[in-house]
Amino acid sequence: MNPFEFSIPQNIIVGAGTLAKLPECAKKMGGTHAMILSGPTLKKMGVVDKAADSLKAAGIAADIFTDIEANPSVTTVEKATESYLASDADFLVALGGGSPMDVAKAVGVTAKYGGSITEYEGAHKVPGKIVPLIAIPTTAGTGSEVTAFSVITDHSRDYKLTVFSYELLPEYAILDPELLTSAPASVAAACGIDAFIHAEEAYISTAASPFSDAMAEKAMELIGKNIRRFVARRTDLEAAEAMLTGSLFAGIAFSYARLGNVHAMSHPVSAFFDVPHGVANAVLLPVIAEYNALADHGRYLKIYNYISEIPAYADEFEPMMLVGAIRELTAAIGIPASLTDAIRQAAKGKEVTAEEIESKIVPMAVDAMKSGNIAVNPRVSRQQDIEALYRKAL
């Protein structure tokens, strides 16, 4: 067993209606003026205004920035930082999925320490505590409310840069399943399977520990039992809360055990073709699970039983059964069958040729190899292996 350390320095609130605790959390941090970072859809739905109004009713000023796109860019971070500094706010509220949370963490860095977020790329380059941050997820997927990562797209390089620092952790996380009920089925599916993959990759990572295993196992249990039910009916609050909690535990698990080839390879797919992160992960998962089967030492059976509707026992189980179970699950919740399908769906009617996709295989593999996740994948991977996996996923 490898030596390991862990600490859980955050305050986490879970339950229906807990959005109402936002002003209380703000006051405990000493906050008097919020900047809420979110996306345009949640603004249109009235969720952003609901959060802002609750703060204002408690005597806390609130400004709003909602120009945050999927796969947010360095430019968006710069604009949000300018808005934050101009507002005289003294704390941040990230409301939404992984994109607003990634931006909020990045703004927390650049607003306090200056410069571009690109200057903090890599591990442990944030010099100290960032602007106080409260995270409120509206999707059950990223676990970003409890992770020490911010992932931002640098379009000048067609590259997703990662900032890793425990200083990025929000002071408070509020998980209210009522905020998930209006999510489209496609979003629920992509985010939910992303959360499952966080746990699955952390569980088989060579950096796994008994602590991360405990978080990953509970995450896979909660998500595996509830993802079909949640995608089918997002107003099922019991399923929604299970998904949110599972996503939370998965986020904690991969904060300590990291991930693997799925995430290393999905980030370039999103950067080059704008495929939603969860969809890219889900399409790659069965291909990489098959690749990693050679390194399995009993964990595939547990993963299988978390997601399969038909349990298996050790004397009858073969690792390839997990690959089949993954394909059955992703098909059931509406994930595209291949990477080519996912890329063409993301293009929204614009023609993407097979030749164009093929031309990006090597650049994507080069970028994937830069990820630290490759190093903890259970099966050793060279660039030519990554190229072959991309082609198989196509």
**Domain boundaries, given as residue ranges, for the chain:** 11-180, 185-393
pLDDT at 8 over 90: no
| Helices 383-393 and 277-292: angle between axes, nearest 10 degrees | 110
Give me the amino acid identity at 317.
Answer: F
pLDDT tens digits for range 175-208:
999 998 888 899 999 999 999 999 999 999 999 9
pLDDT at 97 over 90: no
CATH class of segment(s) 185-393: mainly alpha
Query: Which value, in Å, is the radius of gyration of the alpha carbons in the chain?
Result: 20
Q: How far apart are CA 273 and CA 160, in angstroms?
A: 12
Give me the amino acid identity at 33.
Answer: H
* Bridge partners (DSSP) listed for residue 162: 151
pLDDT tens digits for range 52-73:
999 999 999 999 999 998 889 9
Specify the fold of 11-180.
Rossmann fold (3.40.50)
Q: Which is more confident, 347 or 293? A: 293
pTM over 0.85: yes
Q: What is the pLDDT of residue 4?
A: 67
